[in-house]
Structure 1
Amino acid sequence: MKPWQRNSILTVALLAFGAARLPFEAGLGKDLRAAGLVPEAMQIGTREKIGQTSSAVALGGLRTLVATFLNLRAFTFFQEQKWDDVAETYDTIVDLAPKTRYYWETGSWHSAYNAASYYLNDSELPALRRKEAWRASIYRGRAFLERGIRNNPDDWSIKANLGFLLQDSNKFPAFRNNDETFTAAAAAYTSAADTGKAPTYIRRAAFFSLARVKGKEKEALAMARSLYADPQNRVPTLQTLLLVLEAYENPDMDTAARAIEIFGTPEKAYEALSNHWFRTREKFPVYGVAKALESLERQLTISTKDSIFTKPLPPPAGPEAWFEK
């Protein structure tokens, strides 16, 4: 057999072998990506953003290294208060390292907290522009966490961060509809708790959000009773909300007697309910609280001068007050 014939046969054999391997390797690559063992192929837009050199490094399997350097760049943008550049850099970072929790949570924090605080206090912008920039930053931070959850459905921390953002009294006014926002917060916390990896307080946080949703009182009361059954969950906020929701269910209930039963003494009950009475910014329900406080003040012989009702409530807080100038 002549050399050229052997070479031709060898070439055909190699091509046939390669063609036979393609379906197997494609399927294997798909399975590995689905299992999170191999990252998705880098998009053209991401390659353009990080430049030719970094793209070559990333294609060489060192995406996390490139993401680390970009994180340093994002910190520089943060120091310079270039908020759009910070957000765009984190968009690129999570394209490179979508399974790294830190980048999702930090990117969201920069938008929803650092950028939002900047616009809240930046007196150089007109009030209306500051207000809309503040709101847009919080929306961006929320969307970033939601994207992180889609990429990491088993990560409890990213979900809990979303819940925290949505129930934060300095942030939820940005979303206009409190009931929808608290419902979403409860869902995020519940999903985090359902992973089985979250601390126990995350389930309580889900309840604290649900208790603030109008029309969900019955569901919230059932959850309160379930949590209260475990002594470790008997923190003042849960105890107070249990009383409040029971008062909603039964308006004729002796709320003072029930408060003493829950807290142990009239003094402890009065202190807890007084604190709850002043938490107006958090939008917690207060069914039966005034009635209980009035009864407890009589039992404790608190004078009219020292009554909780003579003390002013915290002033309203929200965009209308924050951006009035």
Structure 2
Amino acid sequence: MTQGKKYLVLGAAILGMGALRLPFEKKLTDELYAAHLLPPKLEVRTGEKIGQTFSAVSLGGLRTLVATFLNLRAFGFFSEQKWADVEETFDTIVDLAPRTRYYWDTGSWHQAYNAASYYLYESEIPALRRKLLWRESVLKGKAFLERGIRNNPDDPALWERLGVLLSDSNKIAAFGSPAEAYEQAYDAFMSAVATGNSRDYTKRAALYSLARVPGREGEALKLAREIHQEQERIPPTVLALLFVLSYHEQPTQPVMSLVNSIFPDKRTAYDILGNLWLRSREHYPVYGIAQAVSQIEAYFNIPEEESLLKVPISPPTNMDDYFIRK
């Protein structure tokens, strides 16, 4: 066999071995990406943003380091209230470090809270424009969190952050229908519970959202009863919702019997139910509260003109900074 033929045979053998290895190596690479043992490939637009360091960064070793420095740059833009630069920088950061929860959480927070508040109260911007920019920023923060969840579907903290945003009474107007927003918030909180390592608060927050969705009172009552049974310390809002949802289920039952079965005493019931009654802007249901308050006031001989039911609606008071031990 001539020397040329030997080289041809050798070349063909090498090509054949490469062709045989290619499916195996591709499958192995795909599995490593799926297991997050290899960082995802950088997009071209990300390479354009980080410039000459793209080749080194694309190998993976410098990606988290570059993301750290960009996070410092984003803080500088935040301090200068350059919201478009903050947004663009965090888009690059999460391309570099898509598995880091902090960047998704912080990027969303800057849009949905910091930028939104800035636009809402910036007097140099026309009033209508302020409202539109506020809504746009809140929705950008929501979309950013949702991207983070798609990249980290098993992270309970990101699901929880989405639930908090969707159920925030100060942001609810940005989402259209409050009921739909509360329903989505409930789904987000329950996803956080399902992924594990969630706090007691997460399940309670799911209850707070679901209770505000008309037509789902039965499911909310079931959840309220679970929380009341499982958790040793119960916040006042849980007790109030347990009352109103139980009353909704059986509106013909004696009100005071229900009060006595849920609350440790009538004074506590009066304070908790009265507080929920006044928190009208939070969209909580109030089934049976007027009847209960009236009967408790009669029990304590509170004059009609001093009735809690005649007090003008005031800003909500957060009573959940203390718990009632069962």
TM over 0.5: yes
CA 1:184/1:308 → structure 2, altered by over 3 Å: closer, same or farther?
same
Shift of 1:9: 5.7
- Residue 237 of structure 1 pairs with residue 216 of structure 2: no
Query: How far, CA to CA, are the matches of 1:32 and 1:12 in structure 2?
Result: 30
Residue 22 of structure 2 corresponds to 22
Query: How far, CA to CA, are the matches of 2:175 and 2:233 in structure 1?
Result: 30
Residue 321 of structure 1 corresponds to none
More deviation, 221-230/288-297: 221-230
Query: How far, CA to CA, are the matches of 1:192 and 1:233 in structure 2?
Result: 21
Q: SS state of the match for residue 201, structure 1?
A: helix
More deviation, 254-263/109-118: 254-263
Residue 274 of structure 2 corresponds to 274
Fraction of identical pairs, as percent = 52
Query: How far, CA to CA, are the matches of 1:133 and 1:42 in structure 2?
Result: 31
Cα RMSD for the two superposed structures: 2.0
Query: How far, CA to CA, are the matches of 1:296 and 1:256 in structure 2?
Result: 8
Residue 81 of structure 2 corresponds to 81
Q: SS state of the match for residue 229, structure 1?
A: helix
Say whether the 8 Å CA contact 2:120–2:134 is kept in structure 1.
yes
More deviation, 103-112/219-228: 219-228
Which blocks of at least 5 consecutive residues in structure 2 are unaligned? Answer: 317-326
Query: How far, CA to CA, are the matches of 1:164 and 1:310 in structure 2?
Result: 32
Query: How far, CA to CA, are the matches of 1:93 and 1:245 in structure 2?
Result: 45
Shift of 1:310: 3.3
Q: SS state of the match for residue 284, structure 1?
A: coil
Residue 58 of structure 1 corresponds to 57
Say whether the 8 Å CA contact 1:243–1:255 is kept in structure 2.
no
Residue 37 of structure 1 corresponds to 37
Shift of 1:14: 4.1
Report the residue type matching 1:260 in the other structure. N
Residue 213 of structure 1 corresponds to 213
More deviation, 43-52/205-214: 43-52
Which blocks of at least 5 consecutive residues in structure 1 are unaligned? Answer: 317-325
Shift of 1:38: 0.9
Query: How far, CA to CA, are the matches of 2:183 and 2:83 in structure 1?
Result: 29
Report the residue type matching 1:52 in the other structure. Q
Q: SS state of the match for residue 304, structure 2?
A: coil
Q: So what's the TM-score if we normalise by structure 2? A: 0.91
Say whether the 8 Å CA contact 2:63–2:96 is kept in structure 1.
yes
Query: How far, CA to CA, are the matches of 2:16 and 2:257 in structure 1?
Result: 85
Q: So what's the TM-score if we normalise by structure 1? A: 0.91
Residue 111 of structure 2 corresponds to 111
Shift of 1:56: 2.1
Q: Deviations over 1:199-256 (max 9, x none)?
A: 1221111111000001111111122122222242632111110110111122222223
Shift of 1:48: 1.0
Shift of 1:167: 0.5
Say whether the 8 Å CA contact 2:279–2:315 is kept in structure 1.
no
